[in-house]
A and B are shown apart, each in its own frame.
Chain A
Amino acid sequence: MLEIRNLHATVDGKPILKGVDLTLDAGEVHAIMGPNGSGKSTLAYVLTGRDGYEVSEGEVLFRGRDLLAMTPEERAAEGVFLAFQYPVEIPGVPNTTFLREALNAVRRHRSLPALDPMEFMKLARTKLKALHMNDQLLKRPVNVGFSGGEKKRNEILQMALLEPALAILDETDSGLDIDALKVVAEGVNALRAPERATLVITHYQRLLDYIVPDRVHVLAHGRIVRSGGKELAQELERTGYAAFTGEAA
């Protein structure tokens, strides 16, 4: 599904990623953990093509194709989804309008007919129900006045609608209380599927109690310094990142 080879990237001319290698197969959930400033969010933005994140070396193949050559919207249409750490507010645009625009853009790319408002509402309601979420979320302007939990739930709702092949969750647990965390994790688990790969980026182990990963990687100083099974997360919880930051330096 996703093959990252020797990826180097800079932000404002400053090297952040210094040779990341990672392979993620369909049906798998991998977690990337690491201290603040290790390059976790940079990796998410490089994979989704954000301006200002320059790749200086290496390549990324997504389902065998050169991901880095695509525009952000092409990557999205091809099935790459990023759940944002800080979802963005768009005043005056109802959430339904935004979601339908996004879904229809992706459907057009896949040569599927666009959904009209009625068809869309029906689909959105089904997804909301499956995620135990409230209709009200659809009517309000995109993320405007949403609580931290609502914003993250809205990200999961979008993911459920867009049905990506690769989902990247960037610090989805930040700013959530334990109840909200459970709801979000439940949503992510409901979307686990043999054809889908998920990359969970997190600072803390606690999210991984609810979304149990197949593999855990530790990112420090722009490199993956260690990989292991889910027990690696628990080890980190006990020992902290100090050992790795030292190791990488």
Chain B
Amino acid sequence: MAASFETARQVREATEQTYKYGFVTDIESETAPKGLNEDIVRFISQKKGEPEWLLEWRLKAYRRWLSMPEPRWTKLRFPQIDYQDAYYYSAPKQAARPKSLDEVDPELLRTYEKLGIPLREQEVLAGVAVDAVFDSVSVATTFKGKLEEQGIVFCSISEAIQTHPDLVRKYLGSVVPPGDNKHACLNSAVFTDGSFVYIPKGVRCPMELSTYFRINAANTGQFERTLIIADEGSYVSYLEGCTAPMRDEHQLHAAVVELIALDDAEIKYSTVQNWYPGDAEGRGGIYNFVTKRGACRGRNSKISWTQVETGSAITWKYPSCILQGDNSVGEFYSVAITNNYQQADTGTKMIHIGRNTRSRIISKGISAGRAQQTYRGLVRISPKATGARNHTQCDSLLIGDSCGAHTVPYIESRNRSAIVEHEATTSKISDDQLFYCRQRGISEEDAVALVVNGFCREVLQQLPMEFAVEAQKLVGISLEGSVG
């Protein structure tokens, strides 16, 4: 842990701006006309050479979206979004889909290197396969061959639509149906790319799979769609990371992630979300409206969500688990940090349907500056979920006097044998703690990072090791300027 503070300091010294991923790549793009209508939906589907059923699926979603109300039950405050004032498709121009990394535009490879995500296989992080999504399309996937040897499919969803149409057709929208909510519905109509993972029966995926999302083009929304299927007795650990350039206008990101775990399968899904949060006055930043849901369809299956949310002007996201299979387990570990004018309304839903299903929620929220943060969580025990158990621990930490933390738990239990526990705390970083650290020679900013990392430790420990260090650094950087 200490090493990370060391690095965090060096990072700070090396960069004048707090958000170090704010650069723009100068690359020629192919863009759909501005605005949204049926022709745009057709344009996207045609660009991707999709089968007829998928185009129909998209159009149906689009028509439904037109009449759906926006979710306004949150504590989030933002102006009406003008959906016609954005581009829905932007892809770096290249002759054909590159077959190997040698054919990928060097400018793109350099962009990912700058982000700390080298894509050339000899340079990549050992044991991590990466799918790199740039604006609307996937530009490269590493280690594909090696994974194929075990029957694992890891590719962009556009590719999977061509190569594994049956799997896609069977599972797409089966966990998050298009009509689930307005943002998911929009995604269903215009999703452009994302990752697809299939782990065959009994296979334990030998490396971390990860997708790195990058928004580059201005005024462009990113709508990626991720689908992960863990067949019986399989295991996979998957991680996503995200960044975007600094721009004065808000950009929309509305993703959908669906996970399916069959009998005895386990999926561990981790997110380090660092979209551009806007500047210190609240100008610009990403609107992050994401629907993530996992279905534990099989007996003894397990889905575990871990998220570190430090970016975005607004975060609206509730990674959830539907615990259908008997003895299935759902977990949600979350660290959310909001500084300056950032807003977050985040939490989870644990829907207990099967018998002896268990869920665990640990949420750590940190607010600084003028930020407002809400934990919103639902635990539902259905009548058949005999022996279900839930434990929720929800802690908020406040830095300064102008921020807010809110906890909104919803508990619905319809089975007498269920045990549901909810614990919540709110605390402030104390002057005593800061002075104690400073008296030992630790600067005020490092002291804040130290105390906050301690506060989040239970959650950060859940991250794959390769990313835990990154996440700890991010915690320190996100809170820069929050004291003194």
Contact = CB atoms under 8 A, between A and B. Distances in A.
B463 interface: no
B301 interface: no
A116 to B, nearest CB: 8
Contacts of A81: 439
B427 to A, nearest CB: 9
Given A73-B438, A87-B436, A88-B436, A101 B431 contact: no
A172 interface: no
20 contacts: A50-B435, A51-B431, A73-B439, A73-B441, A73-B442, A73-B444, A76-B439, A77-B441, A81-B439, A88-B432, A88-B435, A90-B450, A97-B1, A100-B2, A101-B442, A101-B450, A106-B441, A109-B441, A162-B440, A162-B441
A77 B432 CA distance: 19
Given A73-B441, A90-B436, A105-B443, 17 more contacts: A48-B439, A71-B438, A73-B438, A76-B438, A76-B439, A88-B433, A88-B436, A90-B433, A92-B455, A93-B450, A93-B457, A101-B5, A101-B446, A102-B437, A104-B6, A106-B440, A158-B440
Contacts of B431: 51
A92 B436 contact: no
Given A114-B6, A117-B2, A91 B439 contact: no
B438 A98 contact: no
B442 A102 contact: yes
A50 B436 CA distance: 9
A158 B436 CA distance: 12
B456 interface: yes
A219 B422 CA distance: 51
A105 B439 CA distance: 11
Interface string A123-167: 000000000000000000110000000000000001000100000
Contacts of A77: 441
Contact of B455 (A73, A87, A91, A117): A91
Contacts of A103: 441
A48 B446 CA distance: 18
Nearest to A102: B440
A79 B167 CA distance: 66
Contact of A105 (B432, B442, B453, B455): B442
A105 B446 contact: yes
Contact of A92 (B6, B442, B454): B454
B218 to A, nearest CB: 40
Which residue of A98, A101, A114, A117 has the most chain B CB atoms within 10 A of its CB atom? A101
A160 B3 CA distance: 22
Contacts of B6: 104, 114
B458 interface: yes
Interface in A63-119: 71-73, 75-77, 81-82, 84, 87-88, 90-94, 96-98, 100-106, 109, 114, 116-117
Contacts of A101: 2, 5, 440, 442, 446, 450
A71 B437 CA distance: 12
B451 interface: yes
A170 to B, nearest CB: 11
Nearest to A74: B441
Contacts of A82: 439
B301 to A, nearest CB: 31
Contacts of A100: 2
B440 A76 contact: yes
A76 B441 contact: yes
B454 A91 contact: yes
Given A90-B433, A92-B453, A104 B2 contact: yes
Which residue of B432, B437, B451, B458 has the most chain A CB atoms within 10 A of its CB atom? B437
Which residue of B441, B442, B444 has the most chain A CB atoms within 10 A of its CB atom? B441
Nearest to B395: A91
Contacts of B450: 90, 93, 97-98, 101
B1 A94 contact: yes
For the complex of A and B, 7 pairs with smallest distance between CB atoms:
A92-B454, A93-B454, A102-B440, A92-B457, A76-B441, A105-B441, A88-B436
Contacts of A117: 2-3
A101 B472 CA distance: 14
Nearest to B1: A97
A71 B435 CA distance: 11
Contacts of B3: 116-117
Interface string B394-438: 000000000000000000000000000000000000111101111
Which residue of B3, B438, B457 has the most chain A CB atoms within 10 A of its CB atom? B438
A104 B1 CA distance: 13
A93 B451 contact: yes
Contacts of A98: 437, 440, 450
